[in-house]
Structure 1
Amino acid sequence: MPGGGFCKLPNGSVVVALSLPSPAGDGTSVRFLVHAANRARALTRLRNLGLRAVYLRGNAEPPTPDEITAVLHHPDGLIWRTAPDNGVTVTTELWRPIRRLLRG
C-alpha cells in the first residue's frame, strides 16, 4: 500500500518520504527518503532513477524526525530501506544509498 508525505525544513527545502513497491519486483515495499529544494524536484529525482509512476498525494505518512536526520546526513540526499510489513515504523534495518537498490 503506497503512501508518503513531506516535511518542509526551516531553510525552505523539503524531505519527501514515499513507500512504494520494490523496483526489484520481489513483493516487498521500500521506503524512499529524498532531500530536495522542493517536492517537485524530489519526485523528479526518483523519476530520473527509473521510478516513473511516482506521485505524492497528501501527507499521510510524513518522514519521522529520525528519517529526516538520516537523509540530511547522507551525501546524496536519497536513501532507502525495506518498509516493515506490519505498519510499525520502527525497524533495525539501516538506510542504504539508492545505488544499492538499482544495482543489478
Structure 2
Amino acid sequence: MLVHAANRARALTRLRNLGMRAVYLRGNAQPPTPDEVTAVLHHPDGLLWRGAPDRAQELWHPIRALLGT
C-alpha cells in the first residue's frame, strides 16, 4: 500500500478509518520510486495498493477497488 499522509501516525489513522485495524507499518527496504510517489500524490484518494509489488507489470489500484466501494 502507498499512503499519502503527513506522518506515520496519520497514515495509520487513514488506514484504520477504512477498517484496517490490524495494519502495522514498516519502513521500506528501499525508498519509494518516482513512479510510486507520483501515483500516490496525484491520486485523489491518496491511498493505493497492489498485490504483488515484486512484479513490475502489476499496476497500482485505488483503495476503492480493494474495499469494493
| Band of TM-score, shorter chain | 0.7 to 0.9
Q: Which runs of 4+ in 1 moved over 6 A?
A: none
Query: What are the ranges of 5 or more consecutive residues in structure 1 without an aligned counterpart?
Result: 1-31
Q: Larger relative CO (CA 8 A, sep 6+): 1 or 2?
A: 2
Please report the TM-score for the alignment, with normalisation by the length of structure 2: 0.79
- In the alignment of these two chains, the number of paired residues is 69
Query: What are the ranges of 5 or more consecutive residues in structure 2 without an aligned counterpart?
Result: none
1:1-42 CA-to-partner distances (Å, cap 9, x unmatched) read xxxxxxxxxxxxxxxxxxxxxxxxxxxxxxx10001111101
Please report the TM-score for the alignment, with normalisation by the length of structure 1: 0.56
Structure (1/2) with the larger strand percentage: 1
Please tell me the root mean square deviation across aligned C-alpha atoms, in Å.
2.0
The structure having more radius of gyration, on CA atoms, is 1
Residue 69 of structure 1 and its aligned partner are, at CA, apart by 1.1
Q: Percent identity?
A: 80
Structure (1/2) with the larger helix percentage: 2
